[in-house]
A and B are shown apart, each in its own frame.
Chain A
Amino acid sequence: MVTVKDYAASIPVAWCPGCGNFAILQALKKTLVDISLEPNQILFVSGIGQGPKLPHYTQGNVFNGLHGRSLPAATGARIANHELVVISIDGDGGAYGEGIGHLLAAMRRNINITYLVHNNQVYGLTKGQASPTSDLGFVTKTTPLGASQPLNPITLALASDISFLARGFAGDIEHLSKLLRMGIEHRGFALVDILQPCVSFNHQNTFQWYKQRVYKLEEEKGYDPSDKLAAFETAQEWGDRIPIGLIYRKARPVYEDQLPALKVMPLVKHNINPLKYEALLDEFE
């Protein structure tokens, strides 16, 4: 039986005390134990940022690649071995800034990857610059005139007809863990946007700020996560009330299912046999 001890860090954790990443890590470990996954069944693929250091602070296979490029690396890995549970991790900078094109492609492709975006509306690793989700007018060293209009990842995902979309909050570990579980168990691409305070560089969107605003969609009477128009409406909410929970879910063809090479077994288990190509040479005679 796998326990939370199996997911204990083997190196010291280098996050600021009070960082929202601790809660996200705790929720993720709880989820993996709840669904009885062993560390060697999992591949974490992350980019660069404070949040993407997470795989180093637990146990599993890890590919900690380039800033903004976790999704292509995760996609290649998942195609190479679709028996691995692939969990991709980025911050709002990597996911919604540098890597936004890859996110659009991954949603369209609907590859079976769960994507955790630690969204604290600021760059933490590089010390406090505005991110694509910083509030309008957010003043930082790179945006002394204030940040421009923030990107709304929820409407963007809905417009891309994503097959699983949820938003969690680092201040509610139980709730976040449930969303992560749904995301991992979902067949297809799952985006879990996670609201997270940054105690060092974002003094505007603090723990208290989020705490006063978030509400759970599943507690709203009649909210139906298969209703795309309702989801679009919900996605506009940002201010006094911020929705968290399962926003939208739709069964769509999964990318791996469309690849004939993956039908019998994972690509990585195929033998290499040069002789099987004799018939191809015949075509050139």
Chain B
Amino acid sequence: MLALSEKLDILVALNNETIDLHAGELKGDGIIIYDGEQAKVEAKGSKYFNVPLARLAKDTVQNKLMANTVAAGAVIGLAGCDFDFLATVLKQEFARHGEKVVKENVVTAKAGFDFAREHGKRKSGKITQPLSESKGRLLLNGNEAIALGAMVGGCKFIAGYPMTPASSIMEYMADKGRQYGVAAVHVEDEIAAMNMAVGAAYTGVRAMVATSGGGFCLMVEGLALAGMTETPVVAVLGQRPGPATGLPTRTEQAELWFALHSGHGEFPRAVLAPATAEEAFHAMIKAFNLAEKYQTPVIVLTDHHLATSYTTVDRFDLKQVKVDRGELLSNEEADSITDYKRYVVTSSGISPRALPGQGKALVVSDSDEHDEAGHMIEDAETRNQQNRKRLRKQNGLRKEITKPKLHEVPGAELTLMGWGSTYGAIKEAAALLKKDGMAVNTLHLSEIWPFPAEAVSSVLNKVKKSIAIEGNATAQLAGLIRHETGHKVDATILKYDGRPFSPEEIVGRLRKEV
């Protein structure tokens, strides 16, 4: 499963409002579990299943607050799973609260389970048993994958100010960092966060920030500082609906152009937009490698949907992780140089990097335009040389970008295009369309800048009708494609209500709007 679905199999209604709001989302054979002794419900038809949730909780552990656990048991009962499965989960979840709490949860869940088995109609369909062996699979959300990827990729420093949906990245790294040698600094504001990360990165540790759009606005002067001083820094930008405070706990993809143009002046950068939690893990490792290899900032663009959605992935193979610190001088080299020039002009634009305190080499960096030695200058010729040198790094970066994922179907009339977290919904929408006898291509971008223009062009040159599906109001990917390739996307399906796309919504709107 790759995306949220619109339709419900089982709705647990602990109050009437839940039924009012969500009964319409039920599948044809869906079931509503409700407590007829607690609420007056006009139960119409066989889909309503009355379970005395509060009474069962009271009868078993004298605590009707545990009605929700009774409901969990009833769900498992209806779904046809073994009770042991739920008991194991409850034991794991509540172990830290002690044996008494574990036992209370298990017996109340069992009461609900037994009731459902005795009185309920077993739910048909394929959710009857949990997936086979879960060994070797990880259950995590996008932010956890990002934090893990960062640490595995060698990040030693994160500075941040809490902001949804990014906060849990620093929280995780602050917690695990105590044991794994990561310094996490909760700072006074996002301006400090970015400048601190830049200071740490200049000194030689892999450093990052994680924030949302509003916080990133405060960071962008510091991002330009990283561009000018050629300091490798990684910024995670977790989007949520804007402008301003927007819808703080919802999702959007409206900061693509912001990420591309954030910071004043012109400097090279990479923008990665992982599609899944698995990609997010690998994107962080790649981000640090690119940042150090090209000595420039890298932005990892996510959103609330990716950050907070849980998914299972194959266990990451840490043996395959490659760390590339770029042209970093060895201690011996750094110690043998007395007139070190941090910004020596090269054909690649990359200047061999020494770290302060590494040896005799003195590392001079300036946010003013500077000469090869790092001292501020005014003359036009040096300015041009340094500006060109920095921008040349973009040529190398361009070759590092992975091509978009193309799923091609012979004879397809439509090509659905997306970027970032919409991947799952678009892929499942394509599967739904296929079931209906309508084959479509999909093209998805997980690495956006430098823009893979040739790869995108070669697809758009041959497909019939292209449709951009984006979580924003202005079709930012479609605009970028036009800007970078000249191709005009034929149609768009846009969503900016703060909710993630579902496959069903994409299919429905495709039929209606396109």
Q: Which of A71, A77, A267, A275 contacts B356 (CB 8 A)?
A: A77
Chain A residues closer than 8 Å to B361, beta-carbon distance:
40
Report Cα–Cα, A69/B191, bound state, in Å.
Answer: 8
B203 touches A76 (CB 8 A): yes
Asked if A130 is an interface residue, CB under 8 A from chain B, the answer is no
Asked if A140 is an interface residue, CB under 8 A from chain B, the answer is no
Q: Which of B134, B176, B189, B229 contacts A63 (CB 8 A)?
A: B229
B181 touches A77 (CB 8 A): no
Chain B residues closer than 8 Å to A41, beta-carbon distance:
357
From residue A150, how far is it (CB to closest CB) to chain B in Å?
A: 23
Chain B residues closer than 8 Å to A275, beta-carbon distance:
318-319
From residue B204, how far is it (CB to closest CB) to chain A in Å?
A: 4
B366 touches A66 (CB 8 A): no
Asked if A218 is an interface residue, CB under 8 A from chain B, the answer is no
Chain B residues closer than 8 Å to A10, beta-carbon distance:
373, 375
Q: Which of A62, A66, A259, A267 contacts B364 (CB 8 A)?
A: A62
Asked if B374 is an interface residue, CB under 8 A from chain A, the answer is yes
B207 touches A80 (CB 8 A): yes
Q: Which of B137, B181, B195, B375 contacts A65 (CB 8 A)?
A: B195
A76 touches B367 (CB 8 A): no
Chain B residues closer than 8 Å to A64, beta-carbon distance:
364-368, 376
Chain A residues closer than 8 Å to B136, beta-carbon distance:
285
Total interface residues in chain A, CB < 8 Å: 53
Interface residues on B, range: 35 or more
Chain A residues closer than 8 Å to B355, beta-carbon distance:
81, 268
A285 touches B138 (CB 8 A): yes
Asked if B177 is an interface residue, CB under 8 A from chain A, the answer is yes
Who on chain A is nearest to B156 by CB? Answer: A267
**Interface-side segment among B10-18, B144-152, B478-486:** B144-152
Asked if A281 is an interface residue, CB under 8 A from chain B, the answer is yes
Q: Which of A56, A65, A105 contacts B367 (CB 8 A)?
A: A65
From residue A284, how far is it (CB to closest CB) to chain B in Å?
A: 4
Report Cα–Cα, A250/B501, bound state, in Å.
Answer: 58
Chain B residues closer than 8 Å to A278, beta-carbon distance:
318
Interface SS, A side:
helix
Chain A residues closer than 8 Å to B152, beta-carbon distance:
274, 277
Who on chain B is nearest to A262 by CB? Answer: B183
B:150-186 near A, CB below 8 Å: 151-154, 156-157, 159, 176-183, 185
Asked if B115 is an interface residue, CB under 8 A from chain A, the answer is no
Report Cα–Cα, A64/B196, bound state, in Å.
Answer: 13
From residue B65, how far is it (CB to closest CB) to chain A in Å?
A: 29
A43 touches B356 (CB 8 A): yes
B204 touches A65 (CB 8 A): no
Report Cα–Cα, A235/B356, bound state, in Å.
Answer: 37
Chain A residues closer than 8 Å to B433, beta-carbon distance:
none
Chain B residues packing against A (C-beta within 8 Å): 134-140, 144, 148, 151-154, 156-157, 159, 176-183, 185, 187-189, 191-207, 221-222, 225, 229, 315-316, 318-319, 321, 323, 325, 355-357, 359-368, 373-376
Query: Could you pull out 21 A-B pairs where Cβ atoms are within 8 angstroms?
Result: A56-B364, A56-B366, A60-B362, A62-B374, A63-B202, A66-B367, A71-B192, A72-B196, A74-B199, A76-B195, A76-B197, A80-B201, A81-B355, A81-B357, A105-B187, A261-B181, A267-B181, A277-B152, A278-B318, A281-B315, A285-B135
